[in-house]
Structure 1
Amino acid sequence: MPHSSGGGSHGGGSHRSSSSHRSSHRSSGSGPSRRIRTGYFPGATRYRYYHRHKPRYVYANYDIRKGRSPLRLLMLLFYIPFFIAIVGMASETFRVPQRLSTDYDTSLVISDYINVLGDTKALENSMMNFYDETGITPAVFTVYNEDWQDNYSSLENYSYDLYVNAFDDEKHWLIVYSQPQEPDENFNDWYWEGMQGDDTSDILTSAKADGFNSDLQRYLTDKSISVADAISRAFDNLTPKIMKKSVDTSMLFPFLFFGGFILIHAYFMVFHDPSRKYRNAEVCPENAPVGAQSRSVQTEQTVQAVQPPAPAAHEESCPYCGGSYVPGRDKRCPYCQSLLDYSHDTNE
C-alpha cells in the first residue's frame, strides 16, 4: 500500500517521510573438566611446547595435542539463517537503485482542480525527466483545504485515499497541494503532501525524499516562485541524483552491530582453536623432585604423599641459531635441527 513521502505547510514546515522496512537453547553435561595449568595438580601430565623459540611447560589432565573435532563445522548450519539476515540487511543498507519496469499506466497526471498551477509546461518536462530516469510516474493534484479538513484529520490521510482511488499500482508518486478557497493575502495557509507507492521505496528512499521535501518547502515559501515552478524545481534538483548508490544511515549501525556480532560469534564458536599452539607439544617426563617438600593429602581412610614435580630444567641457547633447548633432552635443536654437542656437560 502507498505511504507518505513527506509533506509540509506554510505554518508548520515540512515533515519527514514515513516508510517501513520490512528461544535460546542451553545445554549442559556432566564429565571431568579439562584443565591446563602452569603448575602441577593431581592427575596432570606435563607437556612441553615452544613459543617464540622458547620452551614452555604446562600441565593438563587431557591430551592437549588433539585439536577440536572437525564436526564443529556442522555448527555453521546454525548460522545460515543469520547469514541470510545479514545479506538482507546489507541490501537495505547499501542501495543500488534499479529502474522500475513500465508494466503499468505511465501517463502523467496533473489535476489542477483549483486552477493554481497556471502554465504547467515546465512542470510536465520535469515530471517526464523524473519518469525517464526512474520509471516512477509522478502525479500532481491541487485541492482546497475545505475538501479534506471536514472529513479527514490530515492531508496525509486524504492523500492516501486519493492515491488508492486514482491508481491501481504501487509505482506512482503523488504530490498533493492544498490551499484555502479564499486565501489570506498576508498568509496563505497552504499544505502539501507526498504519497508514494511501495514499489518506489528502493529508489525513492527516505533520505532522498527528505531532500525533495526540504527543497519543495523552501520554494513554496518563496512568494516569488509559483506553485508549479516550486514543484518543478524540486523535481529538477532530485532527478540527477535519484539513481545514485546510497547508504541508509538508519540501517547502517544495526547492520554493522548485528553483522559484526554474528561473524565474531561464529569465528570463536567454529574456527577459533585455542589449543592450536599445543599441536606440536610433547609429553615431558618428570625428573625426581629436587629440593621439593612432599605435601600430604588427607582422606578418611588413608594418607598418601603426593610429590610435586621438579621445576623446569635448565635451558641453553643453540650455538647455531640462538633458539632455546634443554640439555640432556634435546639431541637436536628444535628449530634448526643441528646436532647438539654435550661434551662440555659430561666433562664437568
Structure 2
Amino acid sequence: MPEINLDYKAAHKIAPPQTEQGSPTTSSTFSSQKTVIDYVTLEGIENRTGIEKKDMCGFVLRELLDNALDFLETQYRGQKNHNTIAAAEIEVVINKEPNYLRIVVRNSNYYGNEIFTKDQLQAIFDFDAFYSSKRNQFKISRGALGDAFKAILCMPYALAKEEQNIEWNEPLIIRSHQTSFLVRLIVDRVNQTIHAKIKEEPQRHLATKFVEIEVRLSIPRDNLDFTRLRYFLIDYTTFNTHIGFTFRIKDISNYTLNFPQVQPIITKWTNQTSIYYYTLSEFENLIFGLENNDASSYDVIKKIFREGSNIKKRKCCTNDGRPVKAIASAY
C-alpha cells in the first residue's frame, strides 16, 4: 500500500471561503413567500379557511348553493302580488368528466335582475382587496363573508397542482343575461403574483331567466365520494323548503333527484342589521369600507340598519351635506 504524504495534503488543503474581514462565511440562505400565494396552495387554503383537501369539493358546492339562495331570497323580498310570484328554483348538475369534475349551480332569475358586471367581477377577484355585499354587515346570510369566490377560483388550481402537478387552466364560468364571463386564474410562481383574467362573451342563445355558475375541479387521486355528496344535497333541502331543487348527478350512472318548493318565500321579511351589533371599531370598518365614497349618512343608515326606519332625514344629515365617510373621518 503506497504511503500517504500527510504533510502534502495539509499544505494543499483548500481553505473555506473568507469574508472581507478574513473570517469564514456565516451568512444564511433565506426563503420567502408572499401571503397571496396562500390562495393557491393546499396548505395556505387550509390555514386561511380551515378547509381540508377532502372537503374542498363540498365547500365549493355549498358556497355556490348558499350564494344562489341568498340571491333568491333578496330578489323575492318586497314582491306584493303573491299570485304572480314565480317559483324559486335551483338546479345542480354534477358530472364526472374524463379529466375533471364539472359542477354547475343554476338559479332562477325571473325578474331579470342583473347579477354580475365585468367591473364587479374584477373587484371580486382582486387579490389585493376584499369586495363583498356581506362584509362588515352583521345580518343573517349564508356562506363565507367576503372571500368565497376567490377560494372557489383557486381551489381547483391547488388541487390540480397537488394531485397531478399541472398548471390548471380551466375557467370558472358565469352565465347571466345572455353573457358568459370566463374567469381564469393566472399564477406566476417565480414572481409570486396571482391575478384573474376575465373574458366577457355575448351568448344570445342563453336563457334570460336563469343564472348559472360552472366550476371544474381536478379529481382527487382517492376519487370522489358521490354518496357523501348526494347525502349533503338531500340534507341541504331539509332546511330550505321554500326553494325548489333539482339535482342531476352523473357518475357511473345517471340519476335525478327532485325536491319541489313546498312553501313560499316570505316577501315581507327585511334582513337588516342593527346598530347594537357593532362596536365602535366595527362600525368604523363598515363606514370606511363602503364602495361609494359619496354616500350620505341618511342613505347608509336607512339602507343598512333597521333603526334607520325611524330616523327622519333632517335629523340625520349635517348642514354642509358632507358624505358619511367625511363625517366619520372628522371624529
Same fold (TM over 0.5): no
Higher relative contact order structure (alpha carbons within 8 Å, sequence separation ≥ 6): 1
Bucket of the pairwise TM-score, normalised by the shorter protein: under 0.3
- Find the structure with the greater CA-based Rg: 1
* TM-score, normalised relative to structure 1: 0.20
